[in-house]
Amino acid sequence: MEDERWREMLVAEMQRQGSVHENAIARAFLAVERHRFIPDVPLAQAYADRAISIKSTDGETLASISQPSMLARMLELAAIEPANRVLEIGTGSGYNAALIAILAGAGGLVVSLEVEGDLAERARATLEASGYGGVCVVCADGYEGYPQHAPYDRIIVSARANDVAAAWWDQLRDGGRLVVPLDIAVGGEYAVGFVRDGSVLRSVGTVHCLFLPLRGEQSAVTAERVFLRSKSERYATHPRGVQGIVAVKTQDASPELLERADVVVAQPQTTFALTWD
């Protein structure tokens, strides 16, 4: 089939460029028919390694189907295992939810939240028609999570945030992973993979990224405070790459965080301690 050949070429290109290392993730991309989630797009474009707008208003893109290579990198950070309970924030087209469903397997649970009602309905129908009817698509504010099936082994956020929402803290089990594109105020935007260690989130990897903002009741709430270990960091217009991030609830943050980090960014819910390469 022609679409199968396009999927094979996409996966081969992602492996060549180093976006895909795990065989399980390669198999997922080979299995999920991306063109079904963007039916009005020609096959050559549907399987190009780029994001495609799926909803816009007055020329502004509100939602997109993400670039496959970026999804692959985030899925590798998530390290989804069979039978995992996974919460996705930002369903969009439903394509990533299908990939997650394959990785979690028949014994897993995938809940995907989408704030736009029309997108949630369309994604639910496409997933059902494509054989992924087990994915639970809910029209809801992603910042609130979905406590009905918590705690989750993995939480994957498919839109840019500047904080870790209180609900995500509450609904991620100890030892679980959170993957979220973060605008961390200094150094740019990174998709960060965190592992929860009690009351602390510790990064296990970061990838430069560019995502649309997460929409919801808390999307306009930002009150960041930036603390620098050295004055020279204040004038670093091109900071080095992020080596690691430690995150704690802001209510639990202590001055010792700054002693072990180059920069500390305090948001209303979460305080992030960053070290540079």
Alpha-carbon Rg for the chain, nearest whole angstrom, is 18
Q: Pairing between strand 152-157 and 85-89?
A: parallel
Structure tokens at 268: 């209303």
- 203 as an active site residue: the answer is no
Number of H helices, E strands in the chain: 9, 13
Cα separation values, 39 from 18, 42, 80, 121, Å: 28, 8, 28, 15
Task: Give the end-to-end CA distance of the chain in Å, rounded to a whole number.
Answer: 46
CA nearest neighbour of 139 among 154, 121, 156, 162: 121
Q: Are 135 and 98 in contact (CB under 8 A)?
A: yes
Catalytic residue among 19, 66, 112, 158: 66
Active site residues: 66
